[in-house]
């Protein structure tokens, strides 16, 4: 089914489109952290405990580094072809992971799997932009954001269950039947590339390689390994890689990173919000269970359950804002309100002081912080897509994902260093106050996001498409 046909009959692709995109996003998101609980068994089987973090880092690094390239290929080849290629790569790498006989092979296979995972996370949101009118997109993207949030909590539990029930290798082998089902859905419901849309210019392979190099240097700079000299050297390499990447992307005929489009105010502000959301929320969540365990003396499972309110907050926020925008068309209110809510909740967590509050109060504040992020996490994608040219939709969408993952990477590292240092200096119940600097930095992060949200243009999205109606939506004006 072509994209033109899909627009003439909008309900035809939508009936199966959402389940297909949810399955694709689930595959890409679950494998980010599913290995966490299986690492002891992996190391017992393959050895090399000194390289325990390599398989986990390899996937995240490859996913982040190749996300812009995945979006660019989607614009050139069409979403269907790009998704099928990403699925094929992801499944073949999953098979290799399950058959790995040593940690080096597993790490290399995880790198390739991350390249496929980049397409599975970036391209579904671009598919929504192809098939759904702009005012309806947030309602479709809401479930995808909810899937990403749920995967953050569920994937370690699922990985542990598969390891206990069968073997750690089934963490990867289970992707094969799921990937086959996803490929069948993609071939059926994802619109094909219309004639004449394919690019005639060369693919920006150098730009993709430079972005991968930049992501790798950033990973080394933020990793808590080595001494200060190593960190300074890696930071210098990151700055140099960024400078070279920007220089090249300004010269490229068809750049992977669309700098000209990023110069538009709405797109630029949306990227800033995505970066701060990744830094503030997902950066701090990695250490909340350790904080709960140290400060309240709970078990590991109880501490892990404290992430459930966060999941609920994101799910409610993404879906509520998407449905509201679909109904009324006004969207700027949600980034402003969301950033204000998240900043207030983080400030409340930082103000706990020496008091050891009931865990239900902590859970409530975490849920409010996540609710605030959920209110605009997917809306910024819609706003950026509408503000840019249609032929760059995939690049814009993937760039937002790349920026968000960069925020997660730096937030996890920088806030993690602060959290580890604070927890080490404050054993026992004093650990409740140890997180005060972490939440204070998080509150400042969301305050900066609020400033960006207030600078967003105020306009109403176009009317929702009716059954059988073909509607084109003009890009939002800066």
341-369 burial: b if 16+ Cβ within 10 Å, else e = bbbbbbbbbbebeeebbebeebbbbbbbb
* This prediction's pTM: 0.83
Q: Of the candidates 143, 192, 138, 12, which has an alpha carbon nearest to the alpha carbon of residue 473?
A: 138
Query: Locate tokens 């999941």: which residue?
Result: 311
DSSP state, residue 47: -
Q: What is the tens place of the pLDDT at every residue in 392-446? A: 888 999 999 899 888 888 888 788 777 777 767 666 666 777 778 888 999 999 9
Task: State what percent of residues in the chain have pLDDT above 90.
Answer: 35
Rounded average pLDDT over 322-344 = 92
Same fold flag, 1-191 and 258-462: yes
Q: What is the tens place of the pLDDT at every residue in 381-394? A: 999 988 888 888 88
Rounded CA-CA distance 62/215 in Å is 9
Residue 356 is predicted with a pLDDT of 74
Residue 476 is predicted with a pLDDT of 44
Worst-scoring range by mean pLDDT, 159-168, 240-249, 259-268, 349-358?
349-358
Q: Which long-range contacts does 43-50 make (Cβ < 8 Å, 24+ apart)? A: 43/103, 45/168, 46/100, 46/101, 46/102, 46/103, 46/106, 47/102, 47/103, 48/102, 48/103, 48/104
Q: Residue 13: pLDDT above 70?
A: no
What is the CATH class of 1-191? mainly alpha
Backbone angles phi, psi at 254, to 5 degrees: -135, 75
| pLDDT class of 11 with cuts at 50, 70, 90 | very low
Rounded average pLDDT over 150-175 = 86
Mean pLDDT taken over the chain: 83
Task: Please give the torsion angle defined by the CA atoms of residues 330, 335, 338 and 342, in that order, rounded to the nearest 10 degrees.
Answer: -170
Q: What is the tens place of the pLDDT at every residue in 91-114? A: 999 999 999 989 999 999 999 999
CB-based contact 90:27 (threshold 8 Å): yes
Rounded average pLDDT over 314-335 = 90
Counting every residue written for the chain, the total comes to 478
What is the CATH class of 258-462? mainly alpha
Q: Parse the chain into domains and list their residue ranges.
A: 1-191, 204-253, 258-462
Q: Residue 271: pLDDT above 60?
A: yes
Q: Of the candidates 101, 77, 382, 82, which has an alpha carbon nearest to the alpha carbon of residue 200?
A: 77
Helices and strands of the chain, counted as H and E runs? 23, 0
Rounded average pLDDT over 150-171 = 84
6/355: higher pLDDT: 355
CB-based contact 24:175 (threshold 8 Å): no
Rounded average pLDDT over 76-102 = 93
Q: What is the tens place of the pLDDT at every residue in 188-242? A: 888 876 544 445 668 888 999 998 888 888 877 776 655 677 778 888 888 999 9
| pLDDT class of 54 with cuts at 50, 70, 90 | confident
């Amino acid at each position: 089914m072509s994209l033109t046909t899909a627009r003439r009959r909008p309900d035809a692709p939508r009936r199966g489109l959402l389940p297909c995109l949810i399955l694709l996003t689930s595959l890409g998101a679950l494998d980010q952290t599913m290995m966490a609980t299986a690492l002891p068994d992996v190391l017992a089987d393959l050895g090399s405990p000194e390289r325990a973090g390599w398989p986990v880092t390899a996937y995240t690094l490859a996913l982040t580094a190749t996300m812009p390239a995945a979006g660019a290929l989607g614009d050139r080849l069409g979403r269907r072809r790009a998704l099928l290629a990403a699925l094929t790569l992801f499944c073949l790498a999953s098979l290799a992971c399950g058959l790995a006989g040593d940690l080096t092979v597993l790490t290399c296979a995880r790198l390739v799997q991350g390249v496929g995972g980049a397409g599975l996370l970036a391209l579904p949101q671009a598919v929504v932009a192809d098939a759904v009118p702009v005012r309806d997109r947030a309602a479709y993207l809401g479930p995808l954001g909810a899937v990403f949030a749920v995967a953050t909590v569920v994937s370690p539990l699922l990985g542990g269950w598969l390891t206990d029930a069968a073997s750690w290798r089934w963490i990867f082998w289970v992707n094969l039947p799921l990937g086959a089902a996803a490929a069948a859905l993609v071939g059926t419901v994802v619109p094909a590339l219309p004639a004449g849309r394919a690019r005639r210019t060369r693919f920006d392979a150098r730009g993709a390689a430079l972005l991968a190099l930049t992501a790798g240097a950033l990973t080394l700079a933020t990793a808590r390994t080595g001494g200060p000299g190593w960190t300074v050297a890696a930071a210098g390499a990151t700055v140099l890689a960024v400078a070279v990447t920007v220089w090249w992307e300004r010269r490229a005929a068809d750049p992977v990173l669309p700098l000209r489009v990023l110069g538009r105010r709405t797109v630029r502000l949306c990227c800033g919000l995505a970066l701060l959301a990744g830094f503030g929320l997902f950066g701090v969540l990695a250490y909340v269970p350790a904080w709960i365990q140290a400060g309240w003396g709970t078990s590991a499972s109880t501490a892990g359950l404290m992430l459930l309110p966060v999941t609920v907050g994101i799910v409610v926020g993404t879906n509520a804002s998407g449905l509201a925008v679909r109904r009324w068309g006004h969207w700027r209110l949600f980034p402003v309100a969301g950033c204000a809510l998240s900043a207030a909740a983080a400030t409340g967590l930082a103000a706990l002081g020496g008091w050891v509050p009931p865990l239900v109060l902590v859970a409530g504040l975490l849920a409010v912080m996540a609710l605030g992020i959920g209110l605009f996490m997917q809306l910024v994608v819609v706003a950026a897509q509408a503000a840019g040219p249609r032929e760059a939709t995939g690049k814009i969408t993937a760039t937002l994902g790349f920026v968000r993952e960069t925020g997660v990477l730096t937030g996890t590292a920088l806030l993690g260093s602060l959290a580890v240092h604070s927890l080490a200096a404050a054993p026992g119940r004093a650990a409740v106050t140890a997180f005060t600097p972490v939440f204070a930095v998080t509150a400042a992060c969301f305050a900066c996001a609020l400033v960006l949200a207030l600078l967003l243009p105020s306009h109403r999205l176009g009317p929702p498409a009716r059954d059988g109606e073909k509607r084109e939506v003009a890009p939002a004006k800066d």
